[in-house]
Chain A
């Protein structure tokens, strides 16, 4: 009998223990095999343009003549590339605005000319300084003639020599003679040399402006810095110099000077967007559970775990402290141990961060903006200068990573509107020069066509910058536990259930009590039995 028992036992053991576990082991190995196909990334519609340069620009007579200013070069370009100027004329690199229908039904052209931010606040009277990044020459105030194609700057995007620079304070013109701004010396461009070496834009062409938004490297976006000129794999898998070697326009594909992938912060409607799945398909993972996540989670959420991986980005700007002088009446400039500016009398207080974990919001691609004259409903609350629309209940919405730039900026307490102050200038009414909010506000408000009550205060504001660049290699992307845990990345996005993050405390307690109750009951029952025996 004993022998038979043992035999049966072994049989049962085999059947119910070893077989299921063997199966799990086999399946696990299968999955591991599948997972090891890391390099088999399925890419669609992504072809690098490998066409050779069609013509040799150095042989054109017209490009051999002497150019005394950049506008002459532009005319030479257009003389062959006719109609291209009309394309640029319609593009936002030139217009700096777009026609949109606002929430209240108004059709308005919105852009830098009437939007407000919480960095340098507004172009308005300061346009001549901001337009060093305009694809044109001479845009110094609102009287600029947007129909004059001679004012277009072709080479800022098409120069392949790297020898072309627009000067910081020249309304988009390069210097006419050698000049120094801060640490950097600007030379008069050799237009003939540049004209002979033109082509498709490189990272350098785009980055020259886009990496320096806000007046310095990576100040504004956080995910666009000069680190991308020479990125490695960890910095950005796509732009990796030694790997994929992709440039901006490989994704931001351009058709007749109309670029795909508009900046979320300033593109109010969900149009001309650029998506990861355009190339990576909608089911890029081996694991189907991950693929189903793409329904509600944007690719960027997991694949850009941190931004500002190199140069720091500005995280806050408090204008309310601007104007402070030291005891002796001099202007203050303070820096932190890493040499980052933390206070300047003419600007206020800043904070900087690098390797920043993004914050997360719902987005359906639509954004609402504050423009000149919009009334602030509640000045005691934080004002969102750009509001990204979206919610869990909206089927078009996904969770996206954002940089939130927090500021305190001036507003008119009587009229409840943000003030676009006059900041840069040589006269006393420029805040930088006179440190007088009343004068600079009055000038700014007048220029913007707004009424200024003379009373002002400071309001807390937020700007949301969706994070789309600095994509991490797969091994550095977020892991499940980063969100599926208490105090994880999505801790602040409430209103729906995330396994691992959420639980019902009452239910959990009921469950624990049930288990303790049963264990206790069993223990008591058993003890009584033991003693009664």
Chain B
């Protein structure tokens, strides 16, 4: 089952592309400083590399804050589940037209290899580049307070990190094509939306909640003492009740004519014994004192095989 899903948030997309551009820009200027080629002039290359490094630092600091603040960091926590399967897929399965061993969902965006790689990228490469980069920038002549003899070791680590980043970008772009719909996946990083396979069970669960919340039938739930635990929006509207707190904890008798109470008590005691009823016509006493008619359904609610209360829907029906 496919469903169009909002998977990358605004900030994530901005961060992704800004980071991509900055890394490429840093790569170009950095390799000019390294002496690999001559493009914009050495002084300019150094200057721009420094500026881009500062921009990157700001971006990264804010991104770290964002990841923790929104809890998005959980997407990057590596897990060893399905790692083997994922590797097997890339080595063997993909050539046989097998399906991806893991599903991409909005709450589990990355496959286990992505998790591992991105985690390494964030924890290893970027911090190492950051630290060596700033040493490079401000500790040119390493004598005081710590004598590290020469910039050499710092420069070499920084250069190695740069090579790793190039490799990362190549692999990253290629692996995009291993998606079932590469173009869609790419656009997802642009628009945030992607057609994703949905777990029917999960989808069902999510939707049921939506169905009850948004239904025009009123929903209610009582505990075994006959007191309200929960109602939905439609219920409040039907009863002309302005606020949920006015009803929660109250006994059902407040919502009925005095004459009807006797039969209602009998009905509920039957339900609490395990019976269910559908379409019982009733008269409700609204919060403005007026009366109206509806039909109701009622069934027991269970916890650990014990009846703990009852619930049901009411549908407004002035005709009865």
Contacts and interface: CB of A to CB of B under 8 A. Distances in A.
Contacts of A496: 149-152
A528 B95 CA distance: 7
A480 B43 contact: yes
B35 A499 contact: yes
A9 B190 contact: yes
B42 A503 contact: no
Interface string A507-533: 110110011001100100110110011
A529 B91 CA distance: 11
B130 interface: no
A276 interface: no
Nearest to A513: B163
B295 interface: no
Contact of B155 (A9, A16, A289, A499): A499
B66 interface: no
Interface stretch (B11-19, B226-234, B278-286, B301-309): B11-19
A292 B50 CA distance: 14
B125 interface: no
B192 A8 contact: yes
B62 interface: no
B150 A480 contact: no
B264 interface: no
Nearest to B16: A16
Given A5-B187, A480-B42, A507-B159, A17 B17 contact: yes
Contacts of B258: none
A526 B177 contact: yes
B51 A27 contact: yes
A23 B14 CA distance: 15
Given A12-B14, A15-B17, A526-B174, A485 B35 contact: yes
A351 to B, nearest CB: 33
A289 B42 CA distance: 12
Interface stretch (B109-117, B165-173, B198-206, B236-244): B165-173
Main secondary structure of the interface of A (DSSP, over half): helix
B160 interface: yes
Contact of A295 (B18, B22, B141, B190): B141
Interface residues of B, number: 53
Interface residues of A, number: 53
A518 B13 CA distance: 26
Interface string B20-38: 1110000000000111001
B140 A503 contact: no
Interface in B28-66: 33-35, 38, 41-43, 46-48, 50-52, 55
Contacts of A5: 187, 190-191
A480 B46 contact: yes
Contacts of A480: 41-43, 46
Given A295-B140, A496-B152, A497-B150, A20 B174 contact: no
Nearest to B20: A16
B261 interface: no
B97 interface: yes
B248 interface: no
B120 to A, nearest CB: 15
Nearest to B178: A529
B159 A503 contact: yes
A414 interface: no
Contacts of B87: none
Given A16-B18, A292-B141, A504-B159, 4 more contacts: A395-B144, A485-B35, A499-B155, A510-B160
Query: 5 closest A-B pairs (Cβ-Cβ)?
Result: A16-B17, A511-B163, A480-B42, A497-B152, A8-B191
24 contacts: A8-B191, A9-B187, A12-B13, A15-B13, A16-B18, A27-B51, A292-B141, A296-B141, A392-B150, A479-B42, A480-B43, A485-B42, A495-B150, A496-B149, A497-B150, A497-B152, A499-B155, A503-B159, A504-B159, A511-B160, A514-B166, A515-B163, A529-B95, A532-B97
